[in-house]
């Protein structure tokens, strides 16, 4: 099933030719209208005509997270201020957020990419789409909403409201598809279990688009089993429109990145040089069709790799592996590098472990993993709890090379965030 078959299956040579033309156009536009890029080009002695091939993208300057903050609110606009029709922001928790502005055409293009992504998983206009992400400045609400409307779904903008209300809407309107955070999907599964609701029997829910925060394959399996749905990995970031940058197709084997809109590179985050094809590195993206705020070589800090070979679905756009974390998510504990995802993988693969966890760093360098037990299947006997804690600590040590303290707590006792989960609490006095 295709939304835009011609674009989605364009042959590689034609796709690359179109990418080069769009890249040249983007570089010309920012050289004319964005002082930040004008200065960067001048200091590199670079002219738009120097971009003669796709490999020449490496001659362009990177754009960092801090560049967006430094030019808040409108410093990177490439169009007059009256052109944009929408604002979104990202991460305002520390200092100024990053502000992204979109013209009408930008919004329409973003919705097109979401529509492609949804249809690629089998969504049709018969579907009822419950968008359980925050509306407002966060892109997960409105950007996904517009795409799902374009497909013709009945869209329920439920936002992150209470689980009671989510369930009521889901039952009354026979929701078939949802957009949901992985942490909330796990929590919601526990909520249904408590109510004695068997989603396979009692709900029409069949698919979910799960993303906006990193999660492991083990977590996907857990969500699929608990809810009786198919989970499709969905990747996006505000700087590149939000959702609909890369998405899994019905084969669930990595996320097709829409390469006619975004030029991708995978680099070594330390050297900035490309990694050999197929190796892990930091994803770097350049917008190819953006009007209001074109961005060159954006350092996403997301770590992933390109998957080899064609996909059975016939799409020519290359596939990204699951994001294993952000380069700045890395924790250094007693001199060892640890990604929270390594901990999640061990926890979620264990049948007696429930659905929520938190990683606590305190003192000089003490690592504690607090994790909920599964609601069923464990007797709570003190000795059994101690044995399971010991077992998990050993498993984690084998994975991390550092032995954490493991605290098992009852199902449903850890706090759940309204937005993205906060998995790491760092209280170290370093
Ligand atoms: P914020 O910076 O406030 O979190 P965004 O909503 O723009 O704002 O978040 C985008 C980031 O979310 C991505 O850069 C990535 O780190 C993470 N993310 C989004 N989708 C996924 C996904 N499917 N898997 C892993 N991480 C994801
Ligand atoms: Zn595919």
**What predicted TM-score, i.e. pTM, was given to this entire model?**
0.93
For residue 59, with 0-12 CB atoms within 10 Å meaning exposed, 13-18 middle and 19 or more buried, which class applies? middle
For 10-61, the pLDDT digits (tens) are 999 999 999 999 999 999 999 999 999 999 999 999 999 999 999 999 999 9
Nearest to 214 by CA among 188, 186, 234: 234
Q: Which domains does the chain have, with CATH numbers?
A: 86-330 (3.40.50.12780), 339-426 (3.30.300.30)
Six-digit token pair at 173?
């309107």
Q: Where are the beta strands (DSSP E) in 249-340?
A: 255-257, 262-267, 281-287, 298-304, 319-320, 325-326, 331-333, 336-338
SS3 374: coil
Sorting pLDDT into bands at 50, 70 and 90, what band is 430? Answer: low
Strands 242-248 and 177-180, sheet pairing: unpaired
How does DSSP classify residue 56? G
CA of 215 to the centre of ligand 2 (A): 20
100 CA from centroid of ligand 2 (Å): 30
The CA-atom distances, in angstroms, between 364 and each of 262, 329, 361, 427 are: 43, 19, 8, 9
Query: Which tokens belong to 237?
Result: 């970031």
* Residue 377 confidence class, pLDDT cut points 50, 70, 90: low
**What is the atom index within ligand 1 of the atom nearest the CA of 97?**
3
Sign of CA dihedral 257, 259, 262, 265: positive
pLDDT in tens, 346-373: 999 999 999 999 999 998 889 999 999 9
Q: What is the pLDDT of residues 175-206, one digit of tens each?
A: 999 999 999 999 999 999 999 999 999 999 99
Q: What is the pLDDT at residue 93?
A: 56
pLDDT band at 103 (very low <50, low <70, confident <90, very high): very high
Per-residue confidence (pLDDT) for residue 161, from 0 to 100: 77
Question: 69-94: per-residue pLDDT in tens?
Answer: 999 999 999 999 999 999 999 875 55
> For residue 328, what pLDDT is reported?
79
Using a pLDDT cut of 90, give the percent of the chain over it: 88
Cα 261 versus chain centre, distance: 17
Summarised one tens digit per residue, pLDDT across range 403-414 is: 999 999 999 899
The residue whose CB lies within 8 Å of the most ligand 1 atoms, and thus the one to mutate among 219, 323, 324, 419, is 323
CA angle, 58 as apex, 106 and 321 as ends, to 5°?
Answer: 65
Summary mean pLDDT of the chain:
95
Q: Kindly list the protein residues whose Cβ atom lies closer than 6 A to any atom of ligand 1.
A: 90-91, 211-214, 233-238, 300, 302, 323, 326, 420
Of 329, 342, 348, nearest to 231 by C-alpha is 348
The set of residues, in sequence order, having a beta carbon less than 8 Å from that of 111 and lying 6+ positions away, is 143, 146, 147, 149, 150
**Per-residue pLDDT reduced to its tens digit, 246-272:** 999 999 999 999 999 999 999 999 999
Q: What is the Cα Rg of the chain in Å?
A: 22
Of 227, 213, 240, which is closest to residue 133 (Cα–Cα)? 213
Rounded to an integer, the average pLDDT of 157-177 is: 96
Q: What pLDDT, in 10s, does the model give residues 298-320? A: 999 999 999 999 999 999 999 99
| Distance of CA 335 from the midpoint of ligand 1 (Å) | 27
Contact between 267 and 260 under an 8 Å Cβ cutoff? The reply is: no
Residue 104 CA, ligand 1 centroid: distance in Å: 24
**Predicted pLDDT at 428:** 87
């Amino acid at each position: 099933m295709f939304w835009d078959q011609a674009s989605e299956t364009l042959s590689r040579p034609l796709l690359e030719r179109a990418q080069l033309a769009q890249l040249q156009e983007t570089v010309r536009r920012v050289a004319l209208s964005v002082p930040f890029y004008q200065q960067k080009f001048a200091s590199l002695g670079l002219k738009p005509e120097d971009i003669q091939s796709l490999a020449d993208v490496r001659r362009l300057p990177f754009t960092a997270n801090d560049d967006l903050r430094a030019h808040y609110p409108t410093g990177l606009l490439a169009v007059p201020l009256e052109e944009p029709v929408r604002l979104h922001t990202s991460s305002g928790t520390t200092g100024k957020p990053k502000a992204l502005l979109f013209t009408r055409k930008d919004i329409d293009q973003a919705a097109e990419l979401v529509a492609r992504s949804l249809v690629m998983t089998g969504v049709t206009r018969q579907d009822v789409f419950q968008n359980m992400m925050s509306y407002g400045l966060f892109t997960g609400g409105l950007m996904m909403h517009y795409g799902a409307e374009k497909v013709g779904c009945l869209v329920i903008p439920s936002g992150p409201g209470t689980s009671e209300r989510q369930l009521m809407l889901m039952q009354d309107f026979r929701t078939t598809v949802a957009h949901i955070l992985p942490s909330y999907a796990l929590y919601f599964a526990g909520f249904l279990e408590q109510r004695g609701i068997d989603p396979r029997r009692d709900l029409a829910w069949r698919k979910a688009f799960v993303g906006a925060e990193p999660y492991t394959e083990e977590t996907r399996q857990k969500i699929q089993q608990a809810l009786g749905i198919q989970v499709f990995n969905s990747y996006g970031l505000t700087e590149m429109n939000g959702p609909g940058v890369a998405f899994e197709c019905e084969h669930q084997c990595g996320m097709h990145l829409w390469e006619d809109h975004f030029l991708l590179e995978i680099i070594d985050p330390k050297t900035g040089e490309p990694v050999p094809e197929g190796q892990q590195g930091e994803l770097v993206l350049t917008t190819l069709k953006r009007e209001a705020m074109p961005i060159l070589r954006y350092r996403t800090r997301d770590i992933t790799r390109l998957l080899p070979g064609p996909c059975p679905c016939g799409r020519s756009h290359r596939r990204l592996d699951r994001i294993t974390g952000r380069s700045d998510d890395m924790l250094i504990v007693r001199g060892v590098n640890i990604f929270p995802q390594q901990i999640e993988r061990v926890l979620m693969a264990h049948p007696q472990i429930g659905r929520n966890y938190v990683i606590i760093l305190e003192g000089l360098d003490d690592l504690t993993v607090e994790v909920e037990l599964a609601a069923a299947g464990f007797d709570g006997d003190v000795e059994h709890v101690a044995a399971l804690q010991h077992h998990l600590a050993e498993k984690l040590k084998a994975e991390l090379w550092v032995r954490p303290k493991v605290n098992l707590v009852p199902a449903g006792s850890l706090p759940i965030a309204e937005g993205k989960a906060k998995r790491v609490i760092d209280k170290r006095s370093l």
